[in-house]
A and B are shown apart, each in its own frame.
Chain A
Amino acid sequence: MNKFAAILYDSFLEIKDRKIFYFYWLVAGVIVLVFALLPSLRMNGRDILDGNVLGGEALNGFVAKFLDGFLGFAMLLLVFGSAGLAPSFLSKGRVELVLSKPIDRWRLLSMKFLGIYLVKAVVLAVVATSVWLTISIRLGMFNWGFFPGLLFACLQFLVIYAIVFFFGVLTNSAAAAIMGYFVIRIGTDLLAGRKAVYPLLSENSLWKTVLDGLYHISPKIGEMSDNIVPIMTGKGITDFYPVWSTMLIAIVFFLATLLSFNRKDY
Chain B
Amino acid sequence: MNDSNAAVRVIGLSKQYAAGFRRTPVLALSDVTLDVGNNEIFGLLGPNGAGKTTLIKILLGSLLPTSGTAAVNGFGGGDWRSRLSAGYLPENHRFPPYLTGRQMLFCFGGMAGLSRNDIRGKVDSLFELVGLSQWQNTKIRKYSKGMMQRLGLAQALLNDPQLIFLDEPTDGVDPVGRHEIRTILLNLKKAGKTVFLNSHLLAEVEAVCDRVAILNKGKLIKVGPVSGLLDVKPAYHVETAGLDEAVALEVMNSFPTAKFEGTVITVTLEAPRQINDVIDMLRRRNVELVSVAPVKISLEESFLELIQGGGHHE
Contact = CB atoms under 8 A, between A and B. Distances in A.
Interface stretch (A9-17, A50-58, A122-130, A140-148): A9-17
A94 B110 contact: no
Interface residues of B, number: 36
A97 B61 CA distance: 10
A98 B155 CA distance: 11
Interface in A1-39: 1-3, 5-7, 9-10, 13-14, 16-17
Interface string A75-117: 0000000000000000111111111111111000000000000
Contact of B115 (A1, A13, A265): A1
Contacts, number: 99
A211 B112 CA distance: 48
Contacts of A1: 106, 109-110, 114-116, 119
A96 B62 contact: yes
A94 B62 contact: no
Interface string B82-125: 01101010101111101100010011111111111001000000
B57 interface: yes
Contact of A102 (B84, B94, B103, B155): B84
Given A13-B99, A17-B98, A96-B62, A6 B109 contact: yes
A92 to B, nearest CB: 7
B291 to A, nearest CB: 52
A266 interface: yes
Nearest to B92: A93
A97 B63 CA distance: 12
A102 B111 CA distance: 7
Given A96-B88, A100-B83, A263 B61 contact: no
A96 B112 contact: no
Given A3-B113, A91-B94, A102-B113, A10 B99 contact: yes
Interface residues of A, number: 30
A3 B57 CA distance: 22
B36 interface: no
Given A9-B106, A13-B99, A93 B83 contact: no
Contacts of B61: 99-100, 105
B292 interface: no
Interface centre among A1, A16, A98, A103 (most CB of B within 10 A): A1
9 contacts: A2-B110, A6-B107, A9-B106, A13-B96, A93-B90, A93-B93, A94-B93, A102-B83, A103-B80
Interface of B: 17, 57, 60-64, 80-81, 83-84, 86, 88, 90, 92-96, 98-99, 103, 106-116, 119, 155, 165
The list of the 6 closest CB pairs from A to B, nearest first, reads: A6-B110, A93-B94, A17-B98, A1-B110, A100-B88, A1-B116
